[in-house]
Structure 1
Amino acid sequence: MNASSIHFSFELFPPRTPVGWDKLPALASALAAVQPAFFSVTYGAGGSDQNGTYDTLIRVVEQTGIETAPHLTCIGSTRAKIGALLDRYKAAGVTRIVALRGDLPATAVSSEAPGELRYASELVAFIRQTHGDHFALEVAAYPEMHPQAANPDADFDAFRRKVDAGASGAVTQYFYAAEAYFDFMERCARAGITIPVVPGIMPITNHAQLMRFSAACGADIPRWIRLRLEQYQDDKQALQDFGLEVVTRLCRTLLDNGAPGLHFYTLNQAEPTLRLWRHLGLPMPIPGS
């Protein structure tokens, strides 16, 4: 593994409390110390407010000087509102965007998606039509299938439409079976898709939280991992040590077999990601160098 040729990135979310905002500078600085290619910032608190995304982005850039990409969703919005956001980001110096459909209401299906743009592929096409190649556009990929997709083929077709619309790269939903990623990449190769698809990595630090997230997003927890996590759920240190070994092996397998990088879902905690970083033996730049 040649770490110098691999791109690493970190996802943050807009803080939800005054304490979270106070902690943001230290969080961003700690993660920036390992010099990621970029940060991404999710769409508001719970996906409801783009102002939180913008404010977080500006603070992270001011604190670290590292490129930061906002998540931009199209559900429930209009071309005019999305266009205004794009202009705002362009004026702020943003050159990378994570383009997503966004979460549907709990009672909706994809055919009922509200707003003028119903799919991420339409959002990508709109951004390309209005801003050309100014923005690098990252999109989502689901090696284990989006939970709302009708079937794996329909899900892959949705991904292909995003690529055809002008996506620059993709970041996957997290997973714990490397075979899911490799199978997805084989499907991409057969379809002639060549954009980089970066695995999304979720450190394991909390049993209940991981189960809740995974149930919501459709990420599979292999039975052997789930049983061990259940065993350790009342022993925080044992659970985190086990999770570290599991995710370290996953990352090494991915990188050793051609993954172009890793995108870490930090959950606004620096140490679990940095602990994994150190365990992988990734570069720790000397401050001021």
Structure 2
Amino acid sequence: MLSEFREKAPVGAEELSVSFEFFPPREGLSAEPLMNAAQLLSQSHPAFLSVTYGAGGSTRERTIEIAKELVHKTNSPIAGHLTCVGASREEVDAVARTYWENGVRHIVALRGDAPEGSGGFVPHPEGYRNAADLVRGLKNIAPFEISVAAYPEVHPEAVSAEADLDNLKAKVDAGATRAITQFFFEPETFLRFRDRVAAHGINVDLVPGILPVGNIAQAMKFAKACGTKVPAWLQDLFEGLDDHPRARSLVTTTVASAMCKMLKKSDVKSFHFYTLNRSEASFALCRLLGCRFY
């Protein structure tokens, strides 16, 4: 039985790539939990640690500070998110230059979500029109590594699945080297999307975004915002576990591990974990996948 959890040939960092996403804590809250989680997870030699950028650039200064601190407190490459919502090209370019000056060589380039209640995304009159336009602009500033977003279940604002793939291709053609997917809850969702991406002539490293479900209500809220389907079996599995945190943690790891292992058997070699600034689930999943921490 225990052999099920042991790799036939241990997978090292050179064969399996992982990365981890964090978000800046709200103003007034300590960044210590984030830093502790990042320092632990950096021992897996990740491809990068990324820091998100709030809607409309609302966390810009905190994102820059957290990214700068991670550069100095971990041995991992750091990726800073950057959006073009509500900002001119000059303002966005200034953030990119600040990243570079602080040792951040990788940017996750996103169109970004408009601030809540604003009525949706409208390009700044002096800004970048979309994520593809942003990628092109960043390439003119410095030789950044650039990741972009992909949506296995179609972006909520896309007019069609085909148009969504056209948008992804535009971002890759503009210079992106990696696409990180929105989270999903069944491996087939990613595998079907991978086939569609290849059929659309998009040649890029496609990395599945993995969200270990620690709180089903929170996961459903996130899913509604980004158009991700939450299968009924998953909702049923977590029903009644709010008062049993230890059992819930075991279920979280078991479900996410099963999905990751199925993806790995389908030749997926890179995983991006949405950590929610906690290390436990991602740490356990990486160990179960065969990562070694040093």
TM-score by length of 1: 0.90
Q: Displacement, 1:139?
A: 0.1
Question: 2:292 is matched with which residue: 283, 286, 289?
Answer: 283
Whole-angstrom CA distance in 1 between matches of 2:52 and 2:114: 16
Whole-angstrom CA distance in 2 between matches of 1:157 and 1:63: 39
Aligned position for 2:196: 187
Once the two structures are superposed, residues 23-65 of structure 1 have per-residue CA deviations (whole angstroms, 9 ceiling, x without a partner) of 3432221111222121000014885131111100111111112
When residues 59 and 43 of structure 1 are mapped into structure 2, their CA distance, relative to the original with a 3 A threshold, is same
Identify the structure with bigger relative contact order (alpha carbons < 8 Å, sequence gap 6+). 2
- Does the 8 Å CA contact 2:38/2:49 hold for their aligned counterparts? no
Amino acid at match of 2:111: R
1:237 matched to 2:246? The reply is yes
Once the two structures are superposed, residues 45-104 of structure 1 have per-residue CA deviations (whole angstroms, 9 ceiling, x without a partner) of 885131111100111111112110100000111111112112212222221100000102
Q: Which runs of 5+ in 1 are unaligned?
A: none
Runs of 4+ more than 4 Å apart = 44-47
Whole-angstrom CA distance in 1 between matches of 2:257 and 2:237: 16
> How many equivalent residue pairs?
282
Amino acid at match of 1:35: H
- Does the 8 Å CA contact 1:10/1:263 hold for their aligned counterparts? yes
Identity value in percent: 39
When residues 213 and 234 of structure 1 are mapped into structure 2, their CA distance, relative to the original with a 3 A threshold, is same
Question: 2:260 is matched with which residue: 251, 254, 259?
Answer: 251
Higher helix proportion: 1
Q: Which runs of 5+ in 2 are unaligned?
A: 1-8
- Does the 8 Å CA contact 1:214/1:221 hold for their aligned counterparts? yes
1:91 matched to 2:101? The reply is yes
Aligned position for 2:138: 127
Once the two structures are superposed, residues 184-212 of structure 1 have per-residue CA deviations (whole angstroms, 9 ceiling, x without a partner) of 11112112222101100111111221121
Aligned position for 1:65: 75
Whole-angstrom CA distance in 1 between matches of 2:61 and 2:191: 37
Q: Displacement, 1:263?
A: 0.5
| 2:50 partner SS | strand
- Does the 8 Å CA contact 1:124/1:165 hold for their aligned counterparts? yes
* RMSD of aligned residue pairs (Cα, Å): 2.0
Question: 1:78 is matched with which residue: 71, 85, 88?
Answer: 88
TM-score by length of 2: 0.89
